[in-house]
Structure 1
């Protein structure tokens, strides 16, 4: 939960890999920080601002299943069902008038109770009002959306379950690419499974749970072989995403989508069997941010807050810190 926020979790009652139970993240995630900046500008504003895709993320709400945050204590749930996110993007709003009427009634009810509640409850009420306003904007913007490319064709009846993860992954990536082509969003996250997920990669002839394998000691050669095979599969999905971007022309611009996009591939831990937060791997692909590519950097002891700052600066968002301020000393990484 703190990988993309660069700040601690709030105290809570969810027991994780440490000895102290925790709650939600205490800050906004970098994807949403960039999303908000782009949405504040007319020339980069899109219908959705950001889209959060999931693959095999369990249907439960806790810090193990969330990596994007709209702010402190505001987790954003990824959508793991490709049919659901397809409907969100392309579904016909047959009941638009009815939905608008319901939203109007909700707004009226919220106004009635505003003066009767405490300051803390009023803050929560304002968050609900903001959500209703966003839904109203989505309804308005749906009519204005001009599709450059037709929606992808999805195989029917693919259930959101473990053994379908390879199919679900490709379906989600295809929808993600199409959302970029149609400029529905310029920021997207793609989350595979969850912390302590224990997905079983039976399509790789691996029956042990991923989480269980990740906790095996280094000397367990069979576990290391399985983990290498699993990571190779994840890298293949990354390659598919990059190839799809590279093979898609930039609408109204030059080059491909990959020439105008940056992919950040990362993992929440440096090493599974020790739970270390040191040496967390980040892989960057694409030319969208004008970073110097084709190299390997070892940044011993450098907080990844400085990488997040570099991402923000690359889109013109000149933040002076991100997440925990004490971890931002030295400013954004120089990746040009």
Structure 2
């Protein structure tokens, strides 16, 4: 019986260690509904969930997207009543729509900045530096231009020190398919590939100058 009690004691201690929360848990505000006007609060909650999941080791990869690709969020908190998707289809000559899109894109940028800040101020569990030092954020859009649905000149922004990319640089790869960037990411993760997606768009392999 003494042996059984000792095993029980060890199991309880192990379970207590595994369930102990060593980082702050995001709190869901009461009565917060999934509605358009609550997008700013929901955005922050999603970011907190991502950061805490990474800190707790629940995941190593996370994806963050606000609404779907043809969503119509109305950024009322920015003083914009029209849907984002509708505004994105306005012609370039519509200066009012253009200014509103700048406001919307600035707000999106602020969400990425907040994610970056939260990663930077969260220590890497069991390691050196912060989560940002050991994470790479890839921020992009699915189209180069909304009103024409073109897939040219799509911007990609890399943030963080996780894969050894040199920050503070700007490149114009002159119409190079983004398949090569995805190949570069794979190689940085220790998994070199000869192609990613359609091999016809993989050209000369990984992109130069990023590391």
Q: What TM-score, normalized to structure 1? A: 0.56
Of residues 85, 89, 92 in structure 2, which corresponds to 1:211? Answer: 85
State how far apart, in whole Å, the 2-side matches of 1:148 and 1:302 are.
Answer: 44
Say whether 1:301 aligns with 2:175: yes
State how far apart, in whole Å, the 2-side matches of 1:322 and 1:146 are.
Answer: 41
Number of the residue aligned with 1:311: 185
Q: Cα offset for 1:147?
A: 4.3
Q: Cα offset for 1:295?
A: 1.4
State how far apart, in whole Å, the 2-side matches of 1:157 and 1:299 are.
Answer: 48
Say whether 1:188 aligns with 2:62: yes
Q: Cα offset for 1:148?
A: 3.6
Of residues 264, 278, 287 in structure 1, which corresponds to 2:152? Answer: 278
Q: In 2, are the aligned partners of 1:148 and 1:181 still within 8 Å (CA)?
A: no
Q: Deviations 1:198-223 (Å, cap 9, x if unpaired)?
A: 21111110001101111111111100
SS in 1 for 2:38: helix
Q: How does 1:44-193 map to 2 (within 5 A)?
A: 147-193=21-67
State how far apart, in whole Å, the 2-side matches of 1:145 and 1:180 are.
Answer: 16
SS in 1 for 2:127: coil
State how far apart, in whole Å, the 1-side matches of 2:192 and 2:154 are.
Answer: 24
Q: What TM-score, normalized to structure 2? A: 0.88
- Structure 2 unaligned blocks of 5 or more: 1-16
- Structure 1 unaligned blocks of 5 or more: 1-142
Number of the residue aligned with 1:123: none
State how far apart, in whole Å, the 2-side matches of 1:305 and 1:255 are.
Answer: 31
Number of the residue aligned with 1:243: 117
Pick the structure with more strand per residue: 1
Larger Rg: 2
Number of the residue aligned with 1:62: none
RMSD of equivalent CA atoms:
1.5
Number of the residue aligned with 2:99: 225
State how far apart, in whole Å, the 1-side matches of 2:53 and 2:20 are.
Answer: 12
Q: Deviations 1:157-184 (Å, cap 9, x if unpaired)?
A: 2111111100000001001100010011
State how far apart, in whole Å, the 2-side matches of 1:263 and 1:326 are.
Answer: 27
Q: In 2, are the aligned partners of 1:146 and 1:182 still within 8 Å (CA)?
A: no
Higher RCO (Cα < 8 Å, 6 or more apart): 1
Q: Cα offset for 1:333?
A: 1.3
Q: In 2, are the aligned partners of 1:249 and 1:256 still within 8 Å (CA)?
A: yes
Q: Deviations 1:111-163 (Å, cap 9, x if unpaired)?
A: xxxxxxxxxxxxxxxxxxxxxxxxxxxxxxxx967644242222122111111
Number of the residue aligned with 1:258: 132
